[in-house]
Amino acid sequence: MVKLLVMAMATLVSCSPDAPPPPVAPPSPSSSPSMAMTERPARPAVDLIKFDPPAAWVKEEPANNMRKAQYKIPDKEKKGGDAQLAVFYFGNRNDMLNDNLKRWATQMGHSDPKTEVIQGTCKVHLVDLKGTYTGDSEQGPQENQRMLAAVVESEDGPWYFKITGPADTVGPWKDDVVKMLKSAGAAAKKE
C-alpha cells in the first residue's frame, strides 16, 4: 500500500504543469516501417476544382482544416437565418463517396438517401434532405433544416459540397446550387 502511495505521488509530481516533460527518445532508424505512423496525403489547394458560387454568397475562412472552402449563404426571404456551404476534399478516393452521403443523410434523420445524378462538367451525385439536423455538436439538434449534399466526381477525385441551414433559406437557392454544381470541374493546371 505504501509502495502504491509513493508511486502515485511520484506520478503526480512528474505530471505537474511546472515539471518539464520527460525526454522522448528519437525514433530508431532501424524501426520497422509497419510500426511508423502513416501520414495523411497532402490535400491539394481548393483551386483544383473550379466552381462559381452565387454572387450573394460570402466566402469565409474555413472553420476547420478538413474544409477546403466555406461560404455563408444569406436568407433570401429573411425567414430562417443564414445557411452554410462547406467544401471538402479527401484525395482521389472514390470509396468514400456513398459512405459520406449516407453519413450526411443520417445527420438529417434519413437512413437511405435517394441520390439524383446530374451530368454537368463532371458527374454529380446530389441528395436533398429535410429534417432535424444533428451534425453540429456545438448547436445540437436543429429542427426544420434542409441539406443539399453533393459529390462532384472531378478528374482529381471526388469533391464534397455540403449545404446546411434552415429549410426556408436553403430551398430558394436550390436552382442556383444545381447550376453551380453542374459547372464545377477541374481548374486549369498552373504551369
Give the pLDDT confidence of 103-151 residue by residue, as tens digits. 889 999 998 888 999 999 999 999 999 999 998 888 889 999 999 999 9
Q: Which tens digit of pLDDT belongs to each residue from 47-92?
A: 568 999 999 999 999 999 889 999 999 999 888 899 999 999 988 8
Give the distance, in angstroms, between the CA of residue 21 and the centroid of all CA atoms in the same chain.
34
Rounded to two decimals, what is the model's pTM?
0.72
76, three cell numbers: 433570401
> Rounded to 5 degrees, what are φ and ψ at 47?
-75, 5
d(CA 172, CA 169): 6
Q: Return the C-alpha torsion angle 62, 137, 141, 133, nearest 10.
A: 40
Question: Quick one: CA dihedral 172, 175, 180, 185, positive or negative?
Answer: positive
> Contact, 76 vs 173, CB < 8 A?
yes
CB neighbourhood size of 177 (10 A): 20
> Contact, 97 vs 104, CB < 8 A?
no
Give residue 21's identity as a one-letter amino acid code: P
Fold of the domain built from segment(s) 48-186: Protein Transport Mog1p; Chain A (3.40.1000)
Cα angle vertex 17, ends 11, 18, to 5°? 100
